[in-house]
Chain A
Amino acid sequence: MELNLVEHAFELKDGCWIFKAGLAQYSQARQVAKLCTCFIPDDEDEQVDDEPRSCYNCQYRRWMVAGFECLALRHFLQK
């Protein structure tokens, strides 16, 4: 995963990598997913963006009240 991508799109809060743009920011979520090497589509029923390759549709996004945490980033940066 590109570290530039990490710095630009996510911020570390209490050990969680949070998507800075928050909810319903589809163009940013698509842009990040396009560059991400860890993207795996979630179950179709759990997808919320019409564009398939979007962080909002990824198995590694963990929804939070105001956005999501990237679990792939957490695992990647721990290694």
Chain B
Amino acid sequence: MKNWLICIDDSDDIGTKGTGEIAEEIAHLLANMSGGHASFVTRHQLFVHPDIPYTSHNSAMCFALHSPLTLAEIHQHAVAHLVAESAPAADPGIAILDVDSHYDVAALMDFGRRAKIEVITKAAAYALAEQLNIQLTEHGGTGQGVIGALAGLGLRLMGSDGRVKGQIKLGQFEDVSLELSVADILEQTGLDAVMSTDKYRLVLDERVQLKGKVKAVYLDHQFVLLVHQEAEQWRNAGKQALQAY
């Protein structure tokens, strides 16, 4: 079994399946075919600038895979799905990193950081991928998605960037709240921790009131449910509070 990080970007368009959903499908596909395990998918915000040809937002989707598959097998199956599911007008790219290999992790994280604040070229992405021995390929359109795909690997490696794709559904609704202990939340969701927005880590017997849409973030290399305190009661953080991630 080896450890991989896989990131895709720029596979969607208005009215088509989102990049996050495609990433999640690839994660399940690869895990199921190999008896391996795929992590949650994380969404990483990239720079929004007129010179970057994103449609409505600019984000990359990344997941970890623990699998006996080879790089060639992962690439073959992931690309087949990416190509089949990408929007016709999309510019998809995919990056695959062997996490156990020797590579310059600082350079990769620096690339991710830069992609949040400046315009980066495809040539720069390919040059770094070659230097770090990362498989980086494009699959249609302008292929601009390779920039975000490579940046997403670096941001995921940083350990405190991104929201977890999807919602956590434990029986709460918009108008029906549900109170659970931290231990129950962790057991039922597979998350690693429950933390306040100012980074206090809740202990297992503390209780949290969940209501509406509940989402997690990637923080301190863990999948974390963010909460805030309101009238001495811990509650799940809303979308506005999660925007910083």
Contact = CB atoms under 8 A, between A and B. Distances in A.
A65 B49 contact: yes
Sort chain A's interface into a size bin.
20 to 34
Please report whether the interface of chain A is mostly helix, strand, loop or mixed according to DSSP.
Answer: loop
A65 B240 contact: no
B21 A43 contact: yes
A48 B49 contact: no
B14 A45 contact: no
A24 interface: yes
Interface string A32-70: 000000001011111111100000000111111100000
A43 B18 contact: yes
B226 to A, nearest CB: 14
Contacts of A61: 56
B212 interface: yes
A47 B18 CA distance: 12
A46 B46 CA distance: 12
B48 interface: yes
Contact of A50 (B21, B49, B166, B213): B213
Interface string B11-32: 0101100101100000000000
Contacts of B50: 64
B163 interface: yes
- Most B-side CB within 10 Å, residue of A42, A45, A46, A61: A45
Contacts of B238: 50
A60 B59 CA distance: 16
A46 B14 contact: no
Contact of B239 (A40, A49, A62, A71): A49
Contacts of B15: 40, 59
Contacts of A64: 48, 50
B76 interface: no
A45 B245 CA distance: 12
24 contacts: A26-B240, A42-B56, A43-B12, A45-B20, A45-B165, A45-B166, A46-B18, A46-B56, A47-B239, A48-B243, A49-B240, A50-B212, A50-B240, A59-B56, A60-B14, A62-B54, A62-B55, A62-B56, A62-B57, A63-B56, A63-B58, A65-B48, A71-B14, A71-B56
Given A44-B213, A50-B238, 15 more contacts: A26-B240, A40-B14, A42-B57, A43-B18, A44-B166, A45-B43, A46-B18, A48-B239, A49-B240, A59-B56, A62-B57, A63-B56, A63-B57, A63-B58, A71-B56
